[in-house]
Structure 1
Amino acid sequence: MNRSYDDFMKEANPKVQPLMDSLRKFCFSLGSNVIEDVRMHRVVFCKSFAFRWFVDVEPQNDSVLLKIQKNRKETQTVQLGLDQDLDKTQALIREAYSSIH
């Protein structure tokens, strides 16, 4: 039973929905091979040919918790507030995406 992103977002705090949507749009902009895996409490983005995840996005009450896979052994956790600039986080996500071969 696969949940859709829209179903997932119905349960998320409305305050974090715009941030979640922005992160989702950014992840898909990285390449046509990005796959979205909607889980119970989070959304995971993977690179399709390797099906290796590069970012795990979990909505909180007034922020979004991201786990960014820097390489196979190292994960960086980022707590992104609603009013924080996305540039630094997007650079980390882009780097994680690019590191998957």
Structure 2
Amino acid sequence: MEGKISFGNKRNYEDFKKQIPGSVLPLFDSIREFCFSLGDKVIEDVRMHRVVFCKSMTFRWFVDVEPDREGVIIKIQKSRKDPIQIIQIKKDQEISEFTQIIKNAFEEIH
């Protein structure tokens, strides 16, 4: 997974995941793995309270993932003109019902 880069605050995912509740970590990890499975152009930007996935170095983000006590809050952007879609996934839900939305955002972002 060559796209694992951290900009700005130089945090990496290993540091970041220490702040994710243990019951939410498997869900967060599965979303992260899915995002990386979309292709070699996926770049991870670890920020203070969330992880943003971008398409290539143009920093066109398509998914913003933030841990929550009850699950994960995902913001999805398909283009700068479309409104951002916000989805809350509970820790006991499967990401399979949301993967197509994430994949579409990755494919449509420019």
TM-score (norm 2): 0.87
Could you tell me the percent identity over the aligned residues? Answer: 55
CA distance in 1, matches of 2:57, 2:97: 26
Contact 2:71 2:88 in 1 (8 A): yes
CA distance in 2, matches of 1:19, 1:79: 12
**Which range moves more in the overlay, 70-79 or 56-65?**
70-79
CA distance in 2, matches of 1:66, 1:27: 12
CA distance in 2, matches of 1:85, 1:34: 22
Which residue number corresponds to residue 90 of structure 2? 81
1:94 partner letter:
K
* 1:39 to 2:44 alignment: no
Unaligned runs of 5+ in 1: none
Which residue number corresponds to residue 25 of structure 1? 33
Which residue number corresponds to residue 59 of structure 1? 67
Unaligned runs of 5+ in 2: 1-8
1:11 partner letter:
Q
Which runs of at least 4 in structure 1 moved beyond 2 Å after TM superposition? Answer: none
TM-score (norm 1): 0.94
For residue 49 of structure 1, report the CA deviation from its aligned partner: 4.2
Of 63, 79, 82, which residue of structure 2 is paired with 1:71?
79
Which residue number corresponds to residue 4 of structure 2? none
CA distance in 2, matches of 1:18, 1:9: 11
Q: Give the CA RMSD over aligned residues.
A: 1.1
Greater strand content: 1
